[in-house]
Structure 1
Amino acid sequence: MDIPLNVDVFCSNEQVCGRSVCIILNPVTKEITHFVVRTKEMIHLEYLVPVEFIVESTPHKILLRCSRHQLAQFRSFTHVEYLDPVDVDYEHLPTMYEPGGLGMWPYGVDNDYISAVPVEDIPHGELGVHRGAHVEARDGRIGRVDEFLVNPENSHITHLVLREGHLWGQKDVTIPISEIDRIADDVVYLKLDKQTIAQMPGISIKRWWR
């Protein structure tokens, strides 16, 4: 079963209820426990959906056995923390101004503002992997995560679909789980080197502008 990222997610009434944006997995067992659905409303909401709610999955869509109302009952994936920029040690945070305030980086007319920082609520002991997460071979970066293939009986990952190459010469390479060394936050480390991966057969990626 595919669990593709950045594809439309359909609820039980076959209406599009959002898009898949992240996979949540146990890094020890390499079991996928949830995936994240981002709604398509003007103000996006993101929900943690257990993989048990997937009825059907293809490289182009995911069908759920829940309604849009039931989707909204799942645990939210993100929350917003408000920080005083004076108290933090880093810059370039998204900024929320009080009414009447005006700011232009790096200057501001009103200093009474706070920074709104979205934070992902990943379950304890698990990791989130987004589409485009880096894939590292033994001798350096080789490509990005395209999707995962899982065993539908136990939700364990069987293969990683690696998007290898540059924009005009990309291909998908299927990497068996046995060749994955470990998975960290948005980084997948392989046991293989670049030369070995380059020699593996792949499927050319078809782009809409071709």
Structure 2
Amino acid sequence: MEFNHGANVFSTEGKEIGRIDRVVIDPKTKAVTHLILRKGLILTQDKVVPVDLLVEGVNDQIIMRLDPNKLDELPDYQETHYVLANEEEIGHVNANKPLIMGTTPALYQYPPYAQTLAPPNTEPAYLVEKETNIPEGTVALKEGARVISRDEKKVGQIEQVLYDPTAHRATHFMIAKGMLLREKKMVPVEWIDEISEDEVLLSVGARMIEEIKERQPA
């Protein structure tokens, strides 16, 4: 079974309920635990769906035991929390925890702050914290993640995850290289050393990847 980014997900009744955005995988065991399901087009929501609900996957379509009317009951992939900051935290703000002054943000404020002559803001400051709702120790691997060989060469990008539903684990990663004429190759998970959401490190050198036979279009 193949997990493709953007593959349409349907209920067993044939109703479209979203599309695959990421694959949640245990970097050590290569077990696939969840899929990140994206619903909506403009105002999107990312939901965490257990692979136990998977029925089958055929021709870039995934069928799952999901009630479209109960999708909102599933946990969001990411949740944003606003935590009141103390003086020490205000002095150590970084990109991972941005700072917001005053009340928690609204969609629009009038008049724009830059055009006012208001005195310096003395309202409380909040740290923005993001929490991901996936099992501890797992990674939400995204399409396009860089694939780096043991000798530190970029050998491609993640395009697809091949999954064995019997063993509940990934078996191969499809990697692609190039812009227009993309060269695609299958890399066994046994060659994977480390996985993060945007990078996969291999235990083999670039020469080994070069020797893999290119996968031809079906």
Q: Normalization by structure 1: what TM-score?
A: 0.80
Find the aligned partners of 1:131 and 1:59 in 2 and give their Cα distance.
Answer: 18
Unpaired runs of 5+ residues, structure 1, are none
Match for residue 99 of structure 1 among 102, 109, 113? 109
Q: Is the 8 A contact 2:77 2:132 kept in 1?
A: yes
Rounded Cα–Cα distance in structure 1 between residues aligned with 2:55 and 2:202: 30
CA contact (8 A) 1:170 1:205 kept: no
- 2:11 aligns with 11
1:98-130, Cα deviation, whole Å (9 max, x unpaired): 531526xxx675778978775533321211111
Counterpart-to-counterpart distance in 2, 1:29 and 1:61 = 26
For the 8 Å contact 1:4–1:58, the answer to whether it is kept is no
Q: CA deviation at 1:13?
A: 2.4
Q: How does 1:37-76 map to 2 (within 5 A)?
A: 37-40=37-40, 42-58=42-58, 60-76=60-76
Q: Is the 8 A contact 1:4 1:59 kept in 2?
A: no
1:95-174 map, 5 Å: 96-97=105-106, 99-102=109-112, 109=116, 119-139=131-151, 140-164=153-177, 166-174=178-186
TM-fit CA distance, 1:142: 1.3
User: The residue matched to 2:208 in structure 1 has which SS?
Assistant: helix
Contact 2:75–2:133 under 8 Å retained in 1: no
Would the aligned equivalents of 2:82 and 2:126 in 1 still touch at CA under 8 Å? yes
> Which of 183, 190, 194 is 2:202 aligned to?
190
- Please name the residue that 2:21 is paired with: 21
Kept in 1, the 8 Å contact 2:186–2:215? The answer is no
> Quick one: structure 1 residues 8 and 116, their matched pair in 2 at CA, closer, same or farther if it must change by over 3 Å?
farther
**Are the structure 2 counterparts of residues 115 and 12 from structure 1 closer, same or farther at C-alpha, using a change threshold of 3 Å?**
farther
Q: How many residues align?
A: 202
Runs of 4+ in 1 over 4 A off after TM superposition: 83-86, 95-98, 107-119
Q: Which amino acid aligns with 1:155?
A: H
1:30-84 Cα distance to aligned partner (Å, 9 max, x none): 1000011011154211111111111111352211122212332222211123478
Change (3 A) 1:137 1:195: same
Matched, 1:175 2:187: yes
TM-score of the aligned structures, taking structure 2 as reference length: 0.77
Change (3 A) 1:19 1:118: farther
The equivalent of 2:95 in structure 1 is 90
Change (3 A) 1:78 1:205: farther
Specify whether residues 189 and 134 from structure 1 end up closer, same or farther in structure 2 by C-alpha distance, changes over 3 A only.
Answer: same
User: Structure 2, unaligned stretches of length 5 or more?
Assistant: none
